[in-house]
Amino acid sequence: MNARLHEIRWHGRGGQGAITAAKIVAQAAYLKGYRGITAAPSFGAERRGAPVSASTRISPQTVMVISQVEKPDTVVVLDHTLLKYQEVTSGLDRGGWLVVNSQQHPKELNITGDFNIANADATRVCRELGLIIAGLPVVNTAILGALVHATNVVDMASIEAVIRERFSDSMIDINLAAIMKTFEITKLKKIR
Amino acid sequence: MIAAYPITPQTPLTEKLSEFVEGGELNAEYVAVESEHSALTVCTSASMAGARTFTASSAHGLAYMHEMLHWAAGARLPVVLACVNRAIGAPWNILNDQQDSISQRDTGWIQIYARNNQEILDSVLQAYKIAETVYVPVMVCYDGYVLSHAEMPVAVPSQEDVDKFLPSYQPHTILDPANPKNYNLVTLADPRVNTEGVLCHGYMELRYLLQEALQNSGEVIIRVGQEFAELFGRSYANMFWEDRLADADIVIVAMGSLAMEATVAADMLRVKGHKAGVLGMRVFRPFPKADLLKALKKSRLIVVFDKNISYGSEGATCSEIKSALYGSGVNAVIRNFIVGLGGRDVKAREMADAVTKSLPLLKEGFLNSEYPEWICYI
C-alpha cells in the first residue's frame, strides 16, 4: 500500500466513461484497504464527444484536498487524440505514469515528457470482444487493465470485485475479459 | 413526505430518494411538483398536517422558494431542506458557490454547512432532531459538484441506531379536518384578543419568538451533536471545526468543503514556520459569536475566504467575524478574500499565498479593510 496520496487524472471524451472509470478505481482502492478516497468529475458542461476529465485520489488517510488535481501521479487518457492538448499531461512529473489508449507503440506516440508511458489498444480489444454500446467501444473499463499493469495503486482482484458489484450480470464477464486482455497487451516505456 | 422539482438545478439526491420510495425502501410520499415554490409549499402544508418533510434544491430553485422559506420559518415548521450550493445567474452557471444559501440568510432558517459527504448524511439526521426540538426549519448546505457529484467513503449508520437517535416524529401542529383550525392568519402589529377572548401575540411578538428560538437553538445544536457522537462516534459538539487553533495566531476561516482545503493551506504555512490554524464554519445561522470569540482569542491575523459576497460590502462570513469581534479586545487584522464563485477552483496553495500576502499588514497594524480582495483574473 502506498503511504502517501496518489492522484490520478482521467481524460476522455463525453460518453467514453472517464468518470465511471474514476469511480471504479476509487472503489477498488477502498476494497484494497485505502480509507482516504475521492472520485470526482472536473466540472465543465459535459457533452458527448467533448473533452472531459475526472480525478481519483487515493490515500491511507482522509483526503483533505478537494480542489482539482494539479500534479497527478498518473494520467489516464481514453482517447489518444486528446494528447495534443497541453493540459492532458500538465503537472505529470518524473516517475509518473501516462496510460494511453492508442494503437500506436509508446515510442510512436510522439510525446515528450519526463514520465513513464503505458500504452494499449483498448479500442481494438473492445471491438474484438464486442464490448460496444450505442456503436461506441466501451474503453473505460478495458483501459483499467493498462492502469493495473503500469501502477501498483490498485490490483486486478479489487478491480474485479468492483466490476462484479457495479455491473449487471450480463456485462460482468465481457468487461473482465476486456480488462484482462488489455492488461496482457500493454506496452511500457519507462524513463531511465 | 418528500416534495421536489426534478429539473436542473437539481442533483442525484432527489433522484435517489425517488428510487428509495419507489422501491419501498423508504416509507414516504414522494410528490413531484411543478416548481420549487410548490415543493416547499407542499412541505410546509404536509408539516402542518403532522408529517416529517424533506426537500432539496439549489441556486435558482432555492431563490424561487424564497417566499416560502420565510413562511416555513414564520410558521415554525420543522422542515428540513438540503441546499446543494450552486451559483445563481446571470450569467447562467450551474457550478458551485454559496451565494444561493447565503442569499437566504435572513429567512429565519438554521443553516448548517457540510465539509464532506459524511457530514452531509450526519447533518441531515441531526437537522431533524434540531428542527423538531426548536421548531425552526433547518437548511443543510453542501457544495454542488465538489461534494454532490463526488464519491468518497461514507459510514452509513444502521436503521436501528438512527431510530434510537431520531424516533418517530411527534408533530406539534396537526391540521385535522375533524378539528378544523386556522393558522397564520392576518396578524396585525399589536396584540389582539381572538374570538375566544384570549389575548394573542401581534406579528412583532411572533417574530420576536422566532429570533429567540434561533438565539437559543445553539445549545440544542450542540447537545444534539453530542448525542450523535455518543451513538455514532463522530463528534459534532461544536458549531465550528477547529484545526490547530490552540497555538495559532494566524487563523484561516472557511465554510463548506473549503474548510477541508484550508487545512492543507495551514499545513503549507506551518511548514514555513507560521502558526496557522483553521476555523471551519459549520453552523452559520445561528452564528456562534460567543464560542467563536473564545476560539479566536489568540489570533492576530484572520483571513476569511468567502464563496459568496454581499455586493457593495464584503463576504458574509467576514462580516459576521468582524461583528463577533467588535469590543472583544481581540484586535486581529481581518482580511477577506472572495473565492470560488461559479465553480472557480480554489487551491490550498492559493489560500496559503493569500495568507502570506496578508502578513505584512501585521506590522503595519492595518486592521480592517473596507472591501474584500478577489482571487480572480482581474
- CATH code, domain with B75: 3.40.50.970
Same domain, B320 and B299: yes
Parallel, antiparallel or unpaired: strands B54-57 and B80-85: parallel
What is the average pLDDT across B312-328?
96
Q: What local confidence, expressed as pLDDT, does residue A94 receive?
A: 85
Q: Are residues B144 and B19 in the same domain?
A: yes
| Digit-coded pLDDT (tens) for B266-298 | 999 999 999 999 999 999 999 999 999 999 999
Q: Which residues contact B293 (CB under 8 A, 6 or more apart)?
A: B324, B325, B328, B330
Is there a single domain that holds both residue B365 and residue B221?
no
Residue A175's nearest CA partner among A118, A120, A122 is A122
CA dist A1 and B62 (Å) reads 44
| Residues A39, B151: C-beta atoms closer than 8 Å | yes
My answer on whether B69 and B216 are in the same domain is yes
How many CA atoms lie within 13 Å of B311's alpha carbon, on the beta-carbon side? Answer: 3
Q: Could you give the CA distance from residue B157 to residue B173 in angstroms, rounded to a whole number?
A: 29
Share of chain B above pLDDT 90, in %: 90
Rounded Cα–Cα distance for residues B127 and B123 (Å)? 6
User: If you average pLDDT over every residue of chain B, what do you get?
Assistant: 95
pLDDT given for residue A149 in this prediction:
96
Given a cut of 70, whether residue A3 has pLDDT beyond it is yes
Mutate to test the interface with B, among A66, A69, A165, A166 (most CBs of B within 10 A): A66
**CB neighbours of B228 closer than 8 A, spacing ≥ 6?**
B122, B125, B126, B165, B234, B235, B236
- Report the alpha-carbon distance of residue B104 to residue B111 in Å, rounded: 9
Are residue B216 and residue B83 in the same domain, yes or no?
yes
**d(C-alpha B46, C-alpha B50), whole Å:** 6
- pLDDT band of residue B195 (cuts 50, 70, 90) is confident
Total domain count, chain B: 2
**Lowest-confidence segment of B56-65, B77-86, B131-140, B182-191 by average pLDDT:** B182-191
**Residue where a domain stops, chosen among B214, B237, B260:** B237
Q: Taking all residues of chain A, what is their mean pLDDT, rounded to a whole number?
A: 92
CA distance B55 to chain A (A): 24
Distance of alpha carbon A171 from the chain centroid: 19
Q: What is the pLDDT of residue A86?
A: 79
Element (H, E) at A20: helix A18-32
Shared domain check, B180 and B271? no
Distance CA A124, CA B45 (A): 58
Q: What is the mean pLDDT of residues B77-101?
A: 96
Q: Which of B204, B237, B270 corresponds to the end of one domain?
A: B237
What share of chain B has pLDDT > 70, as a percent?
A: 99
Average pLDDT over residues B36-47: 97
pLDDT tens-place string over residues B124-159: 999 999 999 999 999 999 999 999 999 999 999 999
Residue B176 DSSP class: B
A66 neighbourhood in chain B, CB within 8 Å: 146-147, 150, 257-258, 260-261
Say if residues B316 and B304 touch (Cβ distance below 8 Å): no
Cell triple for residue A52?
472531459
Average pLDDT over residues B314-337: 96
Our CA-based measurement puts residue A131 at a distance from the nearest CA of chain B, in whole angstroms, of: 26
In order of start, what are the domains of chain A with their CATH numbers? 6-189 (3.40.920.10)
Confidence of residue B168 (pLDDT cuts 50, 70, 90): very high
- Render pLDDT for B341-363 as a digit per residue (tens, 0 to 9): 999 999 999 999 999 999 999 88
Q: What ipTM does this complex have?
A: 0.93
* A contact set with B (CB within 8 A): 23, 26-27, 30, 35, 37-41, 43, 45, 63-68, 70
Same-domain check for residues B187 and B284: no
Per-residue pLDDT averaged across B196-209, rounded?
Answer: 96
Cβ pair B94:A45 closer than 8 A: yes
pLDDT at B17 over 90: yes
Query: Are the beta carbons of B68 and B17 closer than 8 angstroms?
Result: no
Report the DSSP beta bridge partners of residue B181. none
Buried b vs exposed e over A31-51: b needs ≥16 C-beta within 10 Å?
Answer: bbebebbbbbbbbeebeeeeb
Residues B226 and B312 in one domain: no
Choosing from B208, B237, B266, the residue where a domain stops is B237
- Whether the pLDDT of residue A46 is over 90: the answer is no
A41 to B149: CB separation less than 8 angstroms, yes or no: yes
> How do residues A95-126 score in pLDDT, each as one tens digit?
899 999 998 877 788 787 889 999 999 999 99
Which structural domain range is residue B250 located in? 241-374
Longest dimension (CA), chain B: 72
CB B118 within 8 A of CB B142: no
> pLDDT tens digits, residue range A10-44?
999 988 999 999 999 999 999 999 999 999 988 66
Helices of type H across chain B: 12-22, 36-48, 59-64, 66-74, 99-102, 117-134, 159-165, 203-232, 258-271, 289-295, 316-325, 348-358, 360-364
Question: Is residue B52 predicted with pLDDT exceeding 80?
Answer: yes
Could you give the C-alpha distances from A53 to A164, B142, B325, in angstroms and in order? 25, 22, 43
Enumerate residues 6+ apart whose C-beta is below 8 A from A153. A2, A6, A8, A25, A29, A58, A73, A74
For B113, residues 6+ apart whose C-beta sits below 8 A from its C-beta are B98, B141, B142, B255, B256, B281, B282, B283, B284
Closest Cα of chain B to A68: distance in Å?
Answer: 7
Predicted pLDDT of residue A1: 66
Backbone angles phi, psi at B280, to 5 degrees: -95, 115
